[in-house]
Amino acid sequence: MRSRDIIQPLKQVASHPWFEKLARFGYAAKGVVYIIIGLLAVQAATGTGGKTTGSSGALATIATQPFGRLLLVMMTVGIIGYVLWRAVQAILDPEHSHEELDFKKFVQRIGYGASAIAYTGLAFTSIKLITGSGGTNGDSTEDWTLLFLRQPFGRWLVGLGGVVVIGIGILFIHQAYEAKFRRNFQFGQMTYTQRIWVVRIGKFGIAARGFVFMVIGFFLIQAAIQLNPNEAKGVGGALTALAHQPFGVWILTTVALGLTAYGVYSLIAACYRKIAA
């Protein structure tokens, strides 16, 4: 299939009047997922209930609420909107359309593509929960790790994946430190106080997410070294591992609050982020 056979339909989707609304709905859905992950982890850390879980677990939690199926339908629509927005960013690069493509931007676009794929999987999980056909059985990170370990040079592929995930985590922390995400927001529509809090919440949330990525990457490397897919962990497993460290309650609480902050940051992005399709 030629690239223009993909690009042209995507351009038509991106130019539709409803695309921006769908993309913003996507950020809102992502925000809800992270808020649930964070709050459940805070409860687990403080012994008030809750559990450490990832995105699929967050959707399963939604499914148990009153009108859970309706809420999941709305979440699925939002997640699909987010997938489309990430695909547009990866393929059309609307935010850098008049700049030369350097290595950093190339890597960023690869990251957008990987995000689109990951959230496509999450959308399928949500659909399975809606239809009652499961969706949260097993650990998808372990499943994927096992699949790669069975391939030629699988150990090296998984180890390289761990290094890449750690690198992404470091990149997130660097972005949080420099607050480069500010350029993606329509600060002209906010008050001075709102801008200050967006930066604070964004820094805390993005840094916490970056730290979790680094933990996930570490366990992928462990899985490669030991040739054991059970060593690989997703977000939920990474949070559980943090709880078992010295001062684990404090570490988990801090990271969980950070992930909650990232969810709030995503909700803010749903309202004020620049969506240039």
Q: How far is CA 258 from the centre of its chain?
A: 14
Q: Please give the Cα distance from 148 to 224 (Å, whole number).
A: 10
Answer for the pair 267, 27: CB distance below 8 angstroms, yes or no.
yes
pLDDT confidence of 240, banded at 50, 70, 90?
Answer: very high
What is the rounded CA–CA span in Å between residue 265 and residue 200? 9
pLDDT at 50: 80
Q: At what angle do helices 248-272 and 19-46 cross, to 10 degrees?
A: 160
Q: Is the pLDDT of residue 136 over 80?
A: no
Query: Token pair for residue 176?
Result: 């949080």
Q: Can you tell me the mean pLDDT for 235-239?
A: 92
Report the length, in residues, of the chain.
277
Task: Give DSSP secondary structure letters for 6-31.
Answer: HHHHHHHHHTSTTHHHHHHHHHHHHH
**What is the predicted pLDDT for the residue at 15?**
74
Q: How much is the pLDDT for 98? A: 47
- Residue 80 and residue 123: Cα distance in Å, rounded? 7
Q: Give, as one character, the DSSP assignment of residue 92.
A: T
pTM for the structure as a whole: 0.89
Q: What is the mean pLDDT of residues 19-35?
A: 95
- Rounded to an integer, the average pLDDT of 198-223 is 95
Structure tokens at 14: 């991106």
d(CA 129, CA 122): 11
What pLDDT does 35 receive? 97
